[in-house]
Structure 1
Amino acid sequence: MTVLSIILQSILGLGFLMFGFMKFGSKQMVDEFGRYGYPGGFRIFTGLVEVIGAVLVISGIWNDKLAAWGGLFIVGTMLGAIFTHIKIKDSVSKMMMPIVLLILGLIVLLINFDSLL
């Protein structure tokens, strides 16, 4: 485990904890998921997946396999976010955060990929 990996996993994990918990009750997230055409239950499900991914990535500081699984959760979630933005014809600027988070999640996954095999 490199220092860069620890820093990346910490930032990604803390960010996804925040994003995940926002999905549970933030008025902004309620409005956004309504704009996307998704039901409230999907917003809660997405929040749970993000929190689980965050916990796995943070726990992955001590266990490479957990980091890989967390990266996989984050990559899947961000692919869904990007496809949602494409579906509703959002501008590329609205997709930048999910794209950056997808790349960071991929880096964590690739750094720890061998532990999945």
Structure 2
Amino acid sequence: MTSSTLSSRPASRVQRRIVWGIRILLALTFGAAGTAKLAGVPQMVQVFDAIGFGQWFRYVTGFVEIGGAVLLLVPATGFLGGLLLAVTMVFGAATHLVLIGGSPVPAIVLGLLSAFVAWRLRPVPAARAA
């Protein structure tokens, strides 16, 4: 193996369970939110009307959230799912602050949890994993 080979870092059983618990919680949350967007729940339609990009953006956001939720649940893609959803929530919090008002706290909390998962699951060079 070369030093450029990637490996996951060792973690205790408790740490793995905590990360899995957060992954499942996030997957359920983003899955529900994405489904609400794709189903055209009136509140979601109103929010995306207020954003002003059109309803196509609601569909894109719904697919991103559901896709991120699925990625979180697949062991090999958990890092990508966490990263995708963390970036999505940065834009979600910014949207609340700049365009539509309301509290950005839920988006910030979900973004921080997603970033934590991405950080815990980030690939590290094999030389550093030991």
From the CA coordinates, give the structure whose radius of gyration is larger: 2
Greater RCO between the two (CA within 8 Å, min separation 6)? 2
Percent identity over the alignment is 30
Runs of 4+ in structure 1 displaced over 3 angstroms? none
Supply the distance in 2 between the matched residues of 1:115 and 1:108 (Cα, whole angstroms): 14
Equivalent residue, structure 1, for 2:5: none
Q: TM-score, normalised by structure 1?
A: 0.88
Query: Higher helix share goes to which structure?
Result: 1
- 1:102: Cα distance to partner? 0.5
Q: TM-score, normalised by structure 2?
A: 0.79
CA contact (8 A) 2:50 2:100 kept: no
Q: 2:51 aligns with which of 12, 33, 36?
A: 36
RMSD of aligned Cα (Å): 1.8
Equivalent residue, structure 1, for 2:101: 90
- 1:89: Cα distance to partner? 6.0
Equivalent residue, structure 2, for 1:4: 18
Structure 1 unaligned blocks of 5 or more: none
